Amino acid sequence: MKEKRQTIFIDFEFTMPERNVRMKDFYAEIIEVGLVAVVDDQITEQFSSYVTPLKFPILSERCKSFLHISQQQVDQGISFYELVRKLGEFNNQYETTIVTWGNMDMKVLRHNCLEAGLKFPFKAAELDLSMEYKRFFGDQNQTGLWKAVQEYGKEGTGKHHRALDDALTTYNIFRLVEKDKRYLEKPKPTTIGDRIDFSKLLNEFA
């Protein structure tokens, strides 16, 4: 029996410092999470929440304006500890792959866990879909998430820089790329039996 596979599509939004302002010891922290869990091509769960940053809880004006996230929204979000506990729930019996667009999401999660003294929540393979997309299409540069989906003649889901919408858009691109890969796979070489109709051949010798 084929073992079920789980693929988790994740997008985080992070804090950012004011432009041209040096903040002592500043590092990016997760302030919004969007997650789509898929088992055998079926979405089994979607999760979205704002997250309250631990080290630098006050958002910069640049961050609020760029992401359209308010101070009140992150103040009322879940704690980073709750986020890590929630992510850990996806370590189930399935073989799991985490898919992100770019490598920043997992880097920031790892660093945030380190700073908070928490264990990294996932036991899973990780796939940077933007690199997969770049290799597949032979692009020189990495393509942005929404540019990639538009190159497919589609539109992103919802709003760009909304974590759940970006996670859903990543899932949609993943499906399109996987479909293209299957389409481009070389067909199996034909056997001699496929090329010659043996029944006709035998009739000729009968």
pLDDT tens for residues 24-56?
889 999 999 999 999 998 999 999 999 999 999
Q: Where are the domains of the chain?
A: 5-205
- Active-site residue, 161 included: yes
**Widest distance between CA atoms in the chain:** 92
Contact in structure between 14 and 28 (CB atoms under 8 Å): yes
Contact in structure between 98 and 1 (CB atoms under 8 Å): no
pLDDT tens for residues 16-30?
999 887 778 899 999
User: What is the arithmetic mean of pLDDT over 102-123?
Assistant: 96
User: What is the arithmetic mean of pLDDT over 48-77?
Assistant: 96
- Active-site residue, 126 included: no
How much is the pLDDT for 136? 77
pTM across the whole model: 0.82
List, as one string, the DSSP characters of 6-33.
EEEEEEEEE--PPTT-PPTT----EEEE
Give the C-alpha separation, 138 to 35, whole Å: 28
Show Cβ contacts of residue 57 under 8 Å, excluding neighbours closer than 6 positions.
Answer: 74, 75
| DSSP conformation class of 141 | S
Which of 161, 178, 185, 204 is flagged as catalytic? 161
CATH code, residues 5-205:
3.30.420.10
Residue 165 is which amino acid?
A: D
Show Cβ contacts of residue 160 under 8 Å, excluding neighbours closer than 6 positions.
Answer: 145, 146, 166
Q: Is pLDDT above 90 for 14?
A: yes
Which of 13, 89, 151, 185 is flagged as catalytic? 13
Give the C-alpha separation, 50 to 104, whole Å: 18
* Interaxial angle between packed helices 104-116 and 80-88, expressed in degrees from 0 to 180 and rounded to the nearest 10: 120
How much is the pLDDT for 7? 96
